[in-house]
Amino acid sequence: MADSRNGSGGKSGATKAKGKGKAKPKAKAHADRMKEKVDERRGAADGLAGTIADRAGDWSLDARDPSWMDKQKYLFNPLMDLWFRMEIEGFERLPPPPALIVGIHSGAPFVWDAWTVGFQWWRHFGDDRILHGTAHDVLMAAPGVGDYFRKMGVLPAAPDSILAALAEGRDVALWPGGEVDSLRPWGERDRAVLAGRKGFVRMAIAAGVPIVPVATVGGPDSMPVLVRGRRIASALQLDKVARLKMFPIVLSAPWGIAPAALPEIPLPTKIRTAFQDPIAVDNDPSRVDDADYVERKYDEVVASLQHGMDTLARRRKFPVFG
């Protein structure tokens, strides 16, 4: 196993690229079509939901600021190496870019096991191979938070932005389970949850790129979720205004038992992460509408994630934080 602190895996010829891989014309055409659909959907929203949609829809592949990311190393390097004692492996498994990186994550709004994947990637590749993370519209629309995300290269978790990045030959990291995954109860911390959302398989087919599952454990210990809070979310009508179906109650510092939405100091868990073997998808566009094929590929990704999580979980030295 390669530890993140010594540049795990090295830059193999198969994974090194100058910023991006080969552009994907087919993905570009599909991205243009999806942008029209997503813009139409966002334009139909009104009130607070419309404001969130408008702000989230203001994205650009060029918003990523390498100098800003370089400054963040003074936060993320000690956070990863000392606080989270992070281990990451599997860079040598990555196919040539572009690829769709698919994983699970935990917490909100700062999902530490997702952010650390992105920063470990930058620490490993620098600007030789760009990875765009993705985030929920609410986070992309939030004042301050959304601006920070954009400078770090984060895009809205929507088909238009994801396909646009893939079309440019850039890798994209996606967490399809969304809030269902990131806010799963602590008792399910080692379960791969993609919430039945199969759109990522269709995007991979449309873009003609492989899927790389990335398994991780330990993140849920940084802010254990006690209850999902579906009834609270329903009472507050959060689904209508912000596409949120949960209002979770968590154990967090410095608040103790409190809503997950409050700013938090992550608890000092140990995070272990591993890229799994790539999963190829058929380039035939008709496969996008082949429900059985999409289901099989979805199940293959979930199985890969679960196998990786089980392997990493067996390395724990303590029930929590270890």
Give the pLDDT confidence of 33-57 residue by residue, as tens digits. 665 566 566 666 667 777 787 788 7
Instruction: Convert the pLDDT of each residue in 93-144 to its tens digit.
Output: 999 999 999 999 998 667 999 999 999 999 999 999 999 999 988 889 888 9
- pLDDT for res 138: 84
CA contacts within 13 A on the Cβ side of 105: 26
Quote the Cα angle for 90-266-10, to 5°. Answer: 20
**Type of residue numbered 38:** V
CA contacts within 13 A on the Cβ side of 157: 20
The arrangement of secondary structure in 19-229+264-313, i.e. its CATH architecture, is 3-Layer(aba) Sandwich (3.40)
- What is the band of 213 on the pLDDT scale with cuts at 50, 70, 90? very high
- CB-based burial label for 231 (10 Å; 0-12, 13-18, 19+): exposed
Taking the model in full, what pTM does it have?
0.85
Q: What three-state secondary structure class fits 284?
A: coil
**Type of residue numbered 321:** F
Tokens encoding 53: 């949609």
Residue ranges of domains in the chain: 19-229+264-313
Q: What's the CA gap between 209 and 279, in Å, rounded?
A: 9
Q: Which residues, including other chains, have CB under 8 Å from residue 316's CB and lie 6 or more apart?
A: 217, 270, 322
Quote the Cα angle for 39-41-45, to 5°. Answer: 110
